Structure formats: C-alpha cells, structure tokens
Amino acid sequence: MDVLIFKTSVANRQEVNRIHPLLSSLAEIRQYNFDLEDCDKILRVVSNGVEPQTINHMLQIAGFTCEELLY
C-alpha cells in the first residue's frame, strides 16, 4: 500500500462531496480523507499503485488545486 499526501484548495465538506465520486471511481484507491482543519487542506490517499499525477489531474478537473507533498 502506498500513502500519498497532497496540499489542496478544497475548503469545505460540500467540496469534498463534489470530489467523492471522482476518487471513489478509482479501484486502486483503498481509502482517502481530507484534513480541512489543516492550513494546507491535506488530502491523504491510501492506494495500490495510483500515480500522484492521477490524483492531481482528477482534482484539477473538479476545479481544485492539488500538489503532492513529499514526506
């Protein structure tokens, strides 16, 4: 399992609900969550081999910025 962490522009629960169908459509994603309390609006994704560029592209399609954070 891979854990990917992203800084996003997702600001509230309604926006998370807009993104949910996109992230849920990828079979490789096992789990994801947003930390909207964090100043970087963190998205954590647990997956089996999904590429960071895929997540970035999906959020951009939905109208949000997304940048992978390396840890």
Q: What pLDDT is recorded for position 46?
A: 97
Sequence-distant (6+) residues with CB within 8 A of 55 are 4, 6, 23, 43, 45, 66, 68
**SS3 annotation, 5-66:** EEEECCCCHHHHHHHHHHHHCCCCEEEEEEECCCCCCEEEEEECCCCHHHHHHHHHHCCCCE
pLDDT in tens, the chain (71 residues): 999 999 999 999 999 999 999 999 999 999 999 999 999 999 999 999 999 999 999 999 999 999 999 97
Q: What pLDDT is recorded for position 71?
A: 79
